Amino acid sequence: MSKNPTTTKAPLTTKPGPLASIRSLAKRITRGMPAVGQTPYTVVWSENKWRLLRFRNTTGAAPKYATPILLVPSLINRWYVLDLAPGRSLIEWLVAQGHDVFIIDWGTPTDEDRFLTWDDICGRYVGRAVRQTAKFSRDGVAHVLGYCLGGTLAVNYTAAFPEHVASLVALAAPIDFAAAGMMTLWTRTPTFDVQAMTDGFGNLPWPIMQASFQMLKPTMNAGKVMSLLDRAWDDEFLDGFLATERWGNDNVSFPGACYRDYIEQLYRRNALLEGTMTLCGKPALLKNIDCPLLSISFTHDHIVPPAAANALLDAVASPDKAKLELGGGHVGAVVSKKAATGLWPKMSAWWADRDSNEARGL
C-alpha cells in the first residue's frame, strides 16, 4: 500500500507589525523627502513673485490638442500638488495625453506684498496668466481649471472677463460661502477681527491658515500617524505619504489686503453668489458665465463641502454645464493613483470634446 504524498502548505502571510513600519520609516527618512514637481517646464512669464510655467512632453512631441489648459492652484498652497510625483501627477498625465498645460506658481509673498488686493491677484495676475496662455492657442482662448481657492479666483475672473476663457473647470472650488461649514461660522463671528490681524501681521502667516484647516478635522493628524504606523512598510504608500506631507507643510502666507477682501467679500457677504462682487471696477456676475462649465466636488471633502461647490451650476448661464461628484477628500481624490483611472480621464475627455471653437459651437 503506497503512502499518500506529502503536501506542503503555503506559509501564511501576515501584515508587518508597527515595529517593521517604524524601521522602514526610519530607513526611508534617511534618504530625505521625495522629490516633487518633476515634470519638465519652462517659465513663459514672471511678474513680482508669480510665474507662469509651461510643461513639455519628455518625448518632444507637439501637443495633440489646439486649446491649452491653464491650471490655477490655491493662493496659499504650492502649485506642485498637481505635479506631486511620477504616477501621482495630474500635470504629467495630461501632458502625456497631448494637452498643452500651464500653471500659475504664486511664489512666496514678502512684506511689500501685504498691499496686494483681490483685484491685483484675481483681476491682474490671473488675467495676465489667462491672456498669456491663450497666446499659445489657435483660437486665442484657454481652458481654465481652478482648484480650491484657485477655483474661486478662476470663477470670479471669468464672471468679469470671459473673453479668453474657452471653458471653465471648478475643482473643489468654494462658491457658496454660506455653505462652507465651520469656516463660515468662525469668520463671521464678531471677535474674528480681520483688520487687526492684517494690521499686526501684514501678510496673514501661513501657520494660522494651516491651524484653521486642522480645526475642521481635529483628529486628522492622529489619523495620519495611525495610518503611517500601519502601512509604512509599504514603500509605494510611504513615498506617496511623504510627498503629500511635504506639500501639506510647504505653505505660503496670504497677502494681507487680499485676505481682508477674501474674508469680507466672500465669507461674510457671499458677494460672488449674491451678485454683488466686482473685479477691477467691473461687475463679476455669475449669470454672465456662458462658456462650457464643469463643477467637480468630493463627497468627503471637509474643506469645501459639495454644497459650497455645486452652487455654481445653478448660478451660471452656460448651456453646456455638468456636475461631477466623486468619492474621496479634498486632496487625496486629486493626487491618488486612483485619480489616473477616474478623475483625470474624465477631465481630459471633457476638454477633448471642447477643443476648438467649432466643437464649442462658436
Domains by residue range for the chain, with CATH: 34-352 (3.40.50.1820)
As a whole number of Å, the CA-based R_g of the chain is: 22
pTM: 0.88
274 Cβ contact partners less than 8 Å away, ≥ 6 residues apart: none
Interacting residues of 177 by C-beta distance below 8 A, sequence separation 6+:
184, 266, 267, 270, 272, 273, 308
- Take residue 288 and report the three cell numbers written for it: 454672465
| pLDDT, tens digit only, all 362 positions of the chain | 444 444 444 444 456 666 666 776 676 667 767 789 999 999 999 999 999 999 988 777 889 999 999 999 999 999 999 999 998 999 999 999 999 999 999 999 999 999 999 999 999 999 999 999 999 999 999 999 999 999 999 999 999 999 999 999 999 999 999 998 888 988 999 999 999 999 999 999 998 888 777 777 777 677 677 776 676 666 777 777 778 888 888 889 999 999 999 999 999 999 999 999 999 999 999 999 999 999 999 999 989 999 999 999 999 999 999 999 999 999 989 998 899 999 999 999 999 999 987 777 66
SS3 for the chain is CCCCCCCCCCCCCCCCCHHHHHHHHHHHHCCCCCCCCCCCEEEEEEECCEEEEEECCCCCCCCCCCCCEEEECCCCECHHHHHCCCCCCHHHHHHHCCCCEEEEECCCCCHHHHHCCHHHHHHHHHHHHHHHHHCCCCCCCEEEEEECHHHHHHHHHHHHCCCCEEEEEEECCCCCHHHCCHHHHHHCCCCCCHHHHHHHHCCECHHHHHHHHHHHCCCHHHHHHHHHHHHCCCHHHHHHHHHHHHHHCCECCECHHHHHHHHHHHHHCCHHHHCCCEECCEECCHHHCCCCEEEEEECCCCCCCHHHHHHHHHHCCCCCEEEEEECCCCCHHHHCHHHHHCHHHHHHHHHHCCCCCCCCCC
Report residue 21 as a C-alpha cell: 513600519
Residues 6+ apart with CB under 8 A from 361: 320
Report, as residue numbers or ranges, the catalytic residues.
Answer: 148, 301, 330
Instruction: Tell me how far apart the alpha carbons of residues 178 and 188 are, in angstroms, rounded to a whole number.
Output: 10
